[in-house]
A and B are shown apart, each in its own frame.
Chain A
């Protein structure tokens, strides 16, 4: 079928090829320029059909999305590692030949906007040596080229068509252990990257369809569990191969220029949708701020992070002024900052455009300051990017975006007041109940609350909006594979931030070592000192915690047929640990970790008192909080809770009066 309308991508071949400044990238973080510098020996497929007919467009759009879903299912199925599965800590991506993200999967969102950086860096710095050829697969986990942290490993495959590079298919999968000073590769005690897993910049691990055994072995050699990493290696190679084959089948059927044309139009559509939304937001500056508690294990410093979103017309410029300098173990690189932006903007503004990152990214400028906690320079520690630093930046961006959307009557219903106000993950290691060495990250951490919106409450223990399908493990699953015994795993009252719309509640998980001598726990989190998220009005969601009672009497209580539900009832040494902590837990030591809730939306004294009564019955709001914060007075009749209307009205009046009586106006003293 002849193509009437044709476009051609511009590739600049005028200047001599130098690539990017690789060693500067390795220090500052790679920031691609426009255009990128590709060696002329690599031919790119540049012709594309413009004005694809609407039916073919929709058919192909669905087909390409479906191919990406198949790729994701391959990863999900083959990656049997619990860490990857329960957090859905992987994602497939399709990118254009020059690295724009066309489609990404609905798994953990951190990876796809970063895949663009990896693809561009490979185009600039590998197109000459060793070259980019059909059947190649590159791997990389270098945070300064593009990764959230070292355990997140990218597999990138160029798709060729008649000798020309047509597009990229990429997947990323979190490896449980890829080296570093702590089992599980989170190193909250690290002072710099040399105490962490080694960053690997892009290397060609599959060459023309053949695995390079020497490079594969070197990669696996870094890990304490090379078998598991090897399994995932196979999964990731299989994934890109399947996606590559399907895309070729599709091109066979529809023609390269038509398929490319659809990719362009998908991106243009996403861009269009984003710009239309920006038109409804006033120009101005929107800011978010939060405080990182501790830079490494043992540190009690408090470090400010801030994000500013400058909106002018159809462009958003992100800056990180007033942010603390990079330090110890709490950093993310430019790539991490960038991905945090899209992890928020996609669910908040791109739900009607299938989260196509490439569109909005055309209207986003990032002007962060290198050498800061959120644009760290090498050799800062970045291994906690996934659990600490990137979620921290997500809080900042979330807080600012809430204000941006609140300024638009049409868009405010897209607000999600926050992600869980504090929390992180615990890596655990030791000898299990079956006598084998074990190591894991406990994926209970994925169940904080989902934020509220103007028209709905938050979702209690609803997970993370940047990993919408993640299933936390069953307790029985964790107890089978690891030597732990849960005392409880529960939703926590009052962690859903009060508001007219209540925030989503968080979750406590409490366990002790079982049939083992000890468990080594390494906790990497933020928001233990103070909550990090902010909605619009409302109160904060309850934040994270890590408490332990050492040398407790829990086993005596078990013998008395009591399964204790409150650590403060136990005899023993009660300790509140910090957000970066290392603790050795023996059989009499009981630990509890809390995933925070999310902020409320709107004034709690505006909340329908009947809903507060339901919350109390449901065990999510205490009577004390109902009275003190919501101003709702109730009486109990058995297990029914009834609102006392007059007392409530009086209480709420009293609250209003006290607010003003206890305040000072702005500049006044």
Chain B
């Protein structure tokens, strides 16, 4: 679990670092559990169909969608933190670190606008679904507001991360580690640290 170095250096920020560590852990564990649940539900549906047709469930794929979309929206926050989003950085690479810093801060502001929109309008979508008591058209009649809530939740989590990112670029900018060209964390194989044997 990584704590940004500038947080470790300043004692006053240790509490923040602690919160950030727990936040990371909570997101990753929750997503892990959701992913495992999706896998298990699908397996139960397939095995059920061929082994115990009487007990078979039919709603697996529908529920997997709800679970997986929630998982995606939660882990999106981690993608912002580790800078793992896909983006063309060809132009950025050509810029000096000082200029990159300003472009990245501009990017953060635009991203904050969009993720705030996800939160705000997503919330309205949820409200409408509750008001109209919308359910899925399948046998399950799943209340759709639960599924829709993933959108504002993802927006809120990413918004938080982009605010932190903006602050990092504005206050704690370090040209050594925060410019592009360092392979983002998700592409560095963890296997390198632990060789496949």
Chain B binds chain A:
no
